[in-house]
Structure 1
């Protein structure tokens, strides 16, 4: 990966994503998500499918993270995948991570995967996400 350009529709969607993050408001996120989008969590072995579930997870993450900032952006040669390096804080734990986002040719997000380090930060994130979304995620998995 390098500092390549995204395909035009993917670039528009990514700019909208960055604007929503800057405004701390993911209300427009469902418009960016493909109906069959999957979210891959650093805490779960199976992906979470579907736009409503992914929007809920990402909205909750934005509430949990403090001092969130993106630092670098890398794209694949085909212009459909981007990796965004970020830092944030969860309680007293500093974390670093990456968001790996795959777009389709229409600019819809089809896959969103997150990796986080260090382990203590990931554990703090998992505990807080579980506290806020645990029952919802279990119910969503049961319906799938």
Structure 2
């Protein structure tokens, strides 16, 4: 089991968000990472698109902070509860992150409430994702 690698990766994740140094994300994402958006039925696959989504979400969120952290018994999964604003809309959500034994993120799923906060995020991120897809 790579529990030590995973705890180090979770620590690096928090350091990345505190420092706003999104280059750290390159060391955390596995090439085959999958992102499950609260706005899209079909998941996004691959390091390049997931890197783009996560770096842009951090730019869209204001007053972002984590509140609680839950680690699975096997240590390969963490759930992080967060709150943020998008414009004048407040939202709460969870990041459900699965790691491989090397401590790389292989699955990242986000759930957000309420609907008004999710809609504000969807509007902002939808424009960014369309522009990204047009350039790839």
The interval holding the TM-score normalised by the smaller chain is over 0.9
CA distance in 1, matches of 2:101, 2:26: 17
1:12 aligns with 2:15: no
1:81 aligns with 2:77: yes
Structure 1 position 87, deviation (Å): 0.2
Structure 1 position 137, deviation (Å): 3.6
Q: Which residue of 1 aligns with 2:107?
A: 111
Residue by residue over 1:30-63, the C-alpha shift from the partner in whole angstroms, topping out at 9 and shown as x without a partner, is: 1111100000000000110001110110000000
Q: Which residue of 2 aligns with 1:3?
A: none
Preserved contact between residue 30 and residue 52 of structure 1 (Cα < 8 Å): no
Which of the residues 38, 43, 46 maps onto 2:42? 46
Residue by residue over 1:46-91, the C-alpha shift from the partner in whole angstroms, topping out at 9 and shown as x without a partner, is: 1100011101100000000000000000011100000000000000
CA distance in 2, matches of 1:83, 1:94: 20
Q: Which residue of 2 aligns with 1:122?
A: 118
Which of the residues 30, 34, 38 maps onto 1:34? 30
Structure 2: unaligned runs, 5 residues or longer: none
Structure 1 position 132, deviation (Å): 2.0
Structure 1 position 131, deviation (Å): 1.9
Instruction: Tell me the number of residue pairs that the alignment of Structure 1 and Structure 2 aligns.
Output: 135
Structure 1 position 138, deviation (Å): 6.2
Task: Answer with 23-32 or 122-131: which moved more.
Answer: 23-32
2:40 alignment partner, SS class? coil
Structure 1: unaligned runs, 5 residues or longer: 1-5
